[in-house]
Amino acid sequence: MRMTDYPPALILLVGVVLLPLLKGRVRWTVAFALPVIALADAWAVIQAGTDSFVPFIGMQLNPVHVHAATPVFATVFAIMVLGGLLYALNQKRESELPAACLYAGGALGVLFCGDLVSMFVFWEVMTLGSTVLIWAGRQNDSYGAGMRYFGMHAAGGVMLLMGIIIVISQRIHAGDPNPLEFRHFDAMVDSWSTLSWQSGGMWLILLGMLVNAGAPPFSSWIPDAYPQGSPSGTVMLSAFTTKTAVFTLLVAFSGVEVVIYFGLYMAIYGVIYGLLENDIRRLLSYSLVNQVGFMLVGIGIGTRLSIDGAAGHAFAHIIYKALLFMATGSVLFATGRTKMNQLGGLYKSMPVTMWCLIIGGLSISGFPFTSGFTSKSMVVQAIVNESARMAELGQPHTYLIVTWFLFEAATAGVFIDACVKLTWFVFFQKDSGLRPPEVPWNMKAAMIGFAGICIFLGFFPGPLYAILPYKAEAADYANVVFSIDHVMVMLGMLAFSGLSFFVLLPLMKRTESITLDVDWIWRRFIPKFWHDVATPILQQLASVQKLLLDFLPGNGSSDAGSMPTIVRRRLPGSWAVSVPVFMISAMLLLYLVIYFWLLPAQGG
């Protein structure tokens, strides 16, 4: 077999086994070589364009396949691993490098999957790697956050798996020659009208992917989990899970209207929660949700330009978001602090970090001549184009106009969030008295390198446009993006949004607080309900249990006076994982029973 017959992900997965066995320079040399080889191999596979198949219970797995969006995602994933490793060079945690390879390997694997089963396997590999990466962070709540993260993704994984099983069985029934194929779900483009028992499989797959994208009501896992990584671990974490979800949504659900609404909610949610946040890495996690929201809007629009926009923005986003997490990680590394109310005045001693953070902040806002400007604007333009097309056809399109204005408002919002607010409270405001030295050379080099990419793509987006799914559309758009009209729209909007921040500065005073989110339900309400309501009821039932057991022959001396086993102990740590997975599994099992037994009886 040729090299291009194997998934490029295997190269990174080799690192999981190899890296723990190596020490010192050899370890780092291998760590740097792996993403470079993986990138070269990925492009060899892309150029060859061939598929590779593996027999699987009478069907064909297709672990090597090139989707239209594979080149852009594979390229940025490899660049990200390389930059992330350079940034992590001086970290001491032994488990972090193999975990990063497992995580990135899983993500890269998904990009080349031509079938749903291989996709699911790599998807779960990614979950495993990212969970270990969170645990390796060894922050105050790394273990708990890792468990909650794993629980959330295990629940999403169960939905995805059930959806895949249903879709495959439906395809087999319909006589599909390739039932495992990971392809676009055309039937979903009609959106809400397809919500039925028959389309349940597709909806479950969509929901499973949306959980990983950080869509509502499960957006809170991102600010909960990512800030618990180490400075370098969080940089890696920011790149893969959500963007792999974006990739899979792009392949399977582009043009599905409901995805627009999920995206729009995320774009606004990310800004509002970010504005209230005091922790610099939690703030960036919220703005990550905001940006993935922009990508989802592009996917939901589903035109060639919007798909290019979503994919191009994912590329730009991975780089500038990693840059922002590198800069905030450097602040944590140098000061040991992440709370804005405890920081300030660092411009004097950390100028490189400050400028890199500003460049990342400008890029995330789509400031003219940064990478976000040349990528996000494609989605913006695609909304306008699609609205005009629908107006010509006389179809309802007000939602697109509203989406567009909210989209622009969220863009202005993320500018004050991730650029102005972050820079102001960390590097200026009051003098915290902290004078930490700049971070080591490798961290600076990684930041400067990524900042360079942000600026380069802002002036010369051509190389990025050339690897997008519909490169011709993006290339045509290049003239529009640099027009004086467009530049002044963005410049005027962003500059004056910055003014509003300073006008309202007294309202922005930082306090050591968090903002409650939907996760309050499973982190506080359900456990409290269990403890204060359910447990007392079950304790009362203990007397009934005693009575029943006493009636049983030979059980007279049983330990019936104690509480039922289920309430005897406090909820264990694994509750975060077992309960959601159990509930989702039970629900889906019920669905499967109804689907397979009841519907055929009704002729469904």
Question: What is the contact surface with other proteins in residues (CB under 8 A)?
Answer: 141, 144, 268, 271-273, 275-276, 278-279, 339, 384, 387-388, 391-392, 401, 404, 408-409, 412-413, 415-416, 430-431, 484-485, 488-489, 491-497, 499-504, 507-508, 511-517, 523-524
In this structure, what token pair is assigned to residue 146? 């890792």
> CA–CA separation, 414 vs 545, rounded Å?
57
Q: What is the DSSP letter of 567?
A: H
**Which CB, 5 or 141, lies closer to other proteins?**
141
Give me the least distance between CB of 74 and other proteins, in Å please.
34
**Which CB, 5 or 408, lies closer to other proteins?**
408
> CA–CA separation, 438 vs 333, rounded Å?
10
**Which CB, 2 or 348, lies closer to other proteins?**
348
Coil, strand, or helix at residue 56? strand
DSSP structure string for 297-319:
HHHHH-SHHHHHHHHHHHHHHHH
Give me the least distance between CB of 492 and other proteins, in Å please.
4
Give me the least distance between CB of 339 and other proteins, in Å please.
8
Give me the least distance between CB of 423 and other proteins, in Å please.
12
Nearest to 442 by CA among 132, 30, 28: 28
What do you get for the CA distance between the two ends of the chain, in Å?
45
479: left (phi over 0), alpha (psi -120 to 50) or beta: alpha
Q: What is the DSSP letter of 19?
A: G
Give me the least distance between CB of 526 and other proteins, in Å please.
12
Give me the least distance between CB of 504 and other proteins, in Å please.
5
What Rg, from alpha-carbon coordinates, does the chain have? 25
**Which CB, 27 or 486, lies closer to other proteins?**
486
Give me the least distance between CB of 312 and other proteins, in Å please.
20
Give me the least distance between CB of 395 and other proteins, in Å please.
12
**Which CB, 75 or 403, lies closer to other proteins?**
403
Nearest to 11 by CA among 93, 81, 94, 84: 81
Nearest to 487 by CA among 367, 316, 387, 341: 367
Q: Which residues of 373-394 are buried (b: 16+ CB within 10 A; e: fewer)?
A: bbbbbbbbbbbebbbeeeeeee
Nearest to 91 by CA among 154, 159, 31, 51: 31
In this structure, what token pair is assigned to residue 368? 């003219």
In this structure, what token pair is assigned to residue 357? 């953070």
**Which CB, 290 or 335, lies closer to other proteins?**
290
Give me the least distance between CB of 224 and other proteins, in Å please.
9
**Which CB, 88 or 412, lies closer to other proteins?**
412
Give me the least distance between CB of 41 and other proteins, in Å please.
42
**Which CB, 147 or 288, lies closer to other proteins?**
147
494: left (phi over 0), alpha (psi -120 to 50) or beta: alpha
**Which CB, 92 or 509, lies closer to other proteins?**
509
**Which CB, 520 or 596, lies closer to other proteins?**
520
Element (H or E) spanning 103, and its range? helix 96-111
**Which CB, 174 or 507, lies closer to other proteins?**
507
**Which CB, 1 or 507, lies closer to other proteins?**
507
Give me the least distance between CB of 150 and other proteins, in Å please.
15
Judge whether 248 and 126 are in contact, CB under 8 Å. Answer: no
> CA–CA separation, 222 vs 288, rounded Å?
8
> CA–CA separation, 272 vs 230, rounded Å?
26
> CA–CA separation, 261 vs 413, rounded Å?
18
Judge whether 263 and 380 are in contact, CB under 8 Å. Answer: no
Q: Which residues of 162-187 are buried (b: 16+ CB within 10 A; e: fewer)?
A: bbbbbbbebbeeeeeeebbbbebbee
**Which CB, 528 or 568, lies closer to other proteins?**
528
**Which CB, 183 or 339, lies closer to other proteins?**
339
**Which CB, 69 or 268, lies closer to other proteins?**
268
> CA–CA separation, 170 vs 120, rounded Å?
18
Give me the least distance between CB of 255 and other proteins, in Å please.
21
Give me the least distance between CB of 411 and other proteins, in Å please.
9
Give me the least distance between CB of 98 and other proteins, in Å please.
28
Give me the least distance between CB of 368 and other proteins, in Å please.
11
Q: Which residues of 210-226 are buried (b: 16+ CB within 10 A; e: fewer)?
A: bbbbbbbebbbbbbbbb
Element (H or E) spanning 59, and its range? strand 59-64
92: left (phi over 0), alpha (psi -120 to 50) or beta: alpha
